[in-house]
Amino acid sequence: MSNISNKFKKRKKAIELIKSINENPSGYLLIHYSCESFIDTPNGNTPRVTSIAVRYFDSAQTKSFSIHKMAELNNISTKDIYNHYDKLEREMLHSFFDFVKNHLSYKWIHINMRDINYGFEAIEHRYSVLGGEPITINDNLKIDFARILIDKYGTTYSSHPRFETLYKRNKLTMLNFLTGKEEALAFQNREYVKLHLSTLRKIDNLHNIVIRDYDGNLKTDFSFIKFYGYSPQGIFYLIQESWFFALLSVIAVIIISFIIGKLF
């Protein structure tokens, strides 16, 4: 299979998936979480989890699991969270995996939650380290929307950091949004509420992006020409997808036929 043909099939599959999510929303959840920096953790330990947000796609109701809420339930002041972190984190993750247990048939939409540094595996491993027994979500139920957008638009659809740029370009609210570096600093400064609010902002913005893309209102740097190129095969797929280029090709055929008719 040629590279262009493969790109066409991936793009078509991504478009179909985004359509399915929006037209059958009851089976989908969105998830995002914040944690300790996975670059600066001592001894290579799995980063501590600070907050997790899970949103029902159809209702936009969001279930939150956060270290500061666990502290509140345990009558521990915010300033004392760090001294009780492992206990609170275990309770938080216990609540999260109770939620997972009751939602194993759902599909989970996420951004780059792919490995032991940052992802489902990292959360599971962290809970195991704390003595818990995590419940594993089947990999075929996980939808990495970062990869879906690349499959649909190519790698140049948004400049890095891709999602932050995408949010700003589409004028989504950035209130309480923290960059990766800002989140790492907030953890160091023990600003757990700020991390939680950033997590909620990011899941809300992700939800908006999925909906806007389906509605055809998502602004990106996508170009059919950049995506398919100028090769004959690229032009073939381009014509299939774009009414504008299909119209140009029809006009070109008519003009060429007219010229040939005049010559002969």
The beta-carbon contacts of 231-239 under 8 Å, at least 24 apart in sequence, are: 231/4, 233/2, 233/4, 233/5, 234/4, 237/4, 237/5, 237/7, 237/8
pTM: 0.88
What does DSSP say about strands 107-110 and 28-35: parallel, antiparallel, or unpaired? Answer: parallel
Domains with residue ranges and CATH for the chain = 4-222 (3.30.420), 225-263 (no CATH)
Instruction: Please say whether the beta carbons of 249 and 241 come within 8 A.
Output: no
pLDDT per residue, tens digit, the chain (264 aa), is 468 788 889 999 999 999 999 999 999 999 999 999 877 766 778 899 999 999 999 999 999 999 999 999 999 999 999 999 999 999 999 999 999 999 999 999 999 999 999 999 999 999 999 999 999 999 999 999 999 999 999 999 999 999 999 999 999 999 999 999 999 999 999 999 999 999 999 999 999 999 999 999 999 998 877 776 666 554 565 566 654 444 444 444 344 444 554 555
Comparing CA positions, the residue from 213, 193, 173 lying closest to residue 71 is: 193
Cα gap 192→181, rounded to integer Å: 15
